[in-house]
Amino acid sequence: MNRFKLKRSDRFRHTSTCLLAALLLSGCDSSALSKQRLAEFEFHEPRPLPEAVLTDQNGEPFDLRAEGAGKITFLFFGFTSCPDICPLTMVNMARAAALLEPAEREEVLIVFVTLDPPRDSPEQIALWLGGIDPSFVGLTGTQAEVNEVLGQMGYSMPSVPRPESGNYDVPHPATVFVFTRDGLGRYGYPVGSRPPETIAEDLRTLIAMETS
Amino acid sequence: MVRSVRNYLLLLPLLAGCSTGGADLPTLEAREGMASIPAGVSSMAFYVQIENRGSDPDTLVALAVPGAESATIHTMTMEGGMHRMEEVPFLPLPAGEVVALRPGGHHGMIEWETPPEYGDSIEVTLRFTRSEDLTLRIPVISPLELP
C-alpha cells in the first residue's frame, strides 16, 4: 500500500486544512507583503507635504498642504509633453484608483505638478488629465514656484534648454512621493513599473495604517 | 462585408512586418506595434517588438513616419534621482533575441505638427543596417489602452 495515499475522509480533511491555511496565509500575506514592499521605498527622513499654493487645472488656487491633510497623497512631478513615462505613471495610478471602493477612493488624493509651466497651462493640464483621470488634481505655477515645491522634496531642478521649436525634455524625479495621513512624505514609490493591482493593495495598506 | 474583409487581409502583411532578406541576412519580425499619445499633446510614444530569428545580428538605425515632423529612438536615463530622456542613434538587435521598444524603456518618439486622432492608424518604417526596411501600420491609442 502506498503510504502517501490518503483515505477519502483524510483527503477531504487534508484538502480543507490546506484551503483554510491558504486563505489565512493569503489574507495575512497580502497585507504583510504590501508593508514589506512599502518598507523598501521608505525614506530615512520623511518630508512634510510642500507648503505651497499653486494653480489647479480649473484655474483655482490649490493649497497642497491643507488639501492633503488627513489623506493619502500621491504626488508626481512631470510634464504633459512627456510621451512615455509620465502618462504611463499617471495611467497606472488611474488604473489602481479605479480598483478601490468609492469610500477608499475618497481617502486618496492624486496630484500632478508640472515642471514645465511654459507649456503646461491649467487648460493644457485639464485636457491632458481629461484623457487619464479627470478626478486627479493637476497643478502649475511659475517656474520658480514649481521649482521651489520640488526643492521642498529635496530635489533641485536642473536648467532646461528650451528651443523655440520642437519638443524638449524636462527632467523629473523617478518616483512618486507618497504622503500618509499625517502629511509626511514617507515613501518614494516607483509607480511606472508596478502593476495597478499592487498599487491598489499598497493604497489599502496606507489607508489602514495608523500614523502618529 | 466582403470588401472590408478583403481590405483587412490586405493590411495583414503591414500589421506584422517581416524581412527575410537573403541567405546571410538576419530574419527580422516586428509585431505588436502601437503609438500611444496622451490628450492635448503633439508627441507620441511608439512601441514595438522586434525579433531577430536569424543567426546574425542587425541594428535598428532609424524610424520613418510619413507626415510626422520627426521620429527618433529614445531611452530613459537617471541622473541625481531624476529621469531624463535621451535620443539613441541605434539599437542593437542580437541574433535570436527579441528587443522591445516598450513603456518605460527604449521607445520611439514621434513628433507631429497636427497629431493623428484616436482610432487612426499610422505607417512606421523601421530601418536597419543590414536587413531591408520593415513597414508597419499601427493603431493610434490613448495611454489608457496600453496593455
Cβ distance B38 to A193 less than 8 Å, yes or no, reads: no
Coil, helix or strand at residue A19: helix
Residues linked to residue A172 through DSSP beta bridges, in sequence order? B83
Residue A118 pLDDT > 50: yes
Cβ distance B83 to A158 less than 8 Å, yes or no, reads: no
Cα angle B131-B135-B141, degrees, rounded to a multiple of 5:
135
Residue of A nearest to B118 (CA): A131
Cβ distance A132 to B70 less than 8 Å, yes or no, reads: no
pLDDT of residue B48: 98
Quick one: CA torsion of A60, A65, A71, A76, rounded to 10 degrees? 80
Segment A120-125 shows an average pLDDT of 98
Cβ distance B144 to A166 less than 8 Å, yes or no, reads: no
Residue A85 pLDDT > 90: yes
Say how far apart CA A86 and CA A84 lie, in whole Å: 6
8-state DSSP, A71: S
User: Within chain B, which residues score under 70 in pLDDT?
Assistant: 1-25
Taking alpha carbons only, the member of A29, A30, A34 closest to residue A189 is A34
Coil, helix or strand at residue B102: coil
pLDDT of residue A194: 86
Which amino acid is residue B115, in one-letter code?
A: P
**pTM metric for this prediction:** 0.84
Say how far apart CA A22 and CA A35 lie, in whole Å: 19
Residue A112 pLDDT > 70: yes
pLDDT of residue B18: 52
Residues of A with CB under 8 A from a CB of B: 80-88, 90-91, 94, 124, 127-128, 130-132, 155, 158, 166-167, 169, 171-175, 192-193
CB A160 within 8 A of CB A168: yes
Locus of grid cell 528587443: B99
The tens digit of pLDDT for each residue in A14-26 reads 444 444 444 444 5
* Nearest-10 crossing angle of helices A85-98, A196-208: 60
Residues of chain B in contact with residue A195, where contact means CB-CB under 8 angstroms, are none
A to B CB pairs, distance under 8 Å:
94
CB A158 within 8 A of CB B82: yes
Greater confidence (A61 vs A7) lies with A61
The tens digit of pLDDT for each residue in A19-49 reads 444 444 455 567 888 999 999 999 999 999 9
> CA of A169, closest CA in chain B: separation in Å?
6
Residue B107 near chain A (CB below 8 Å): yes
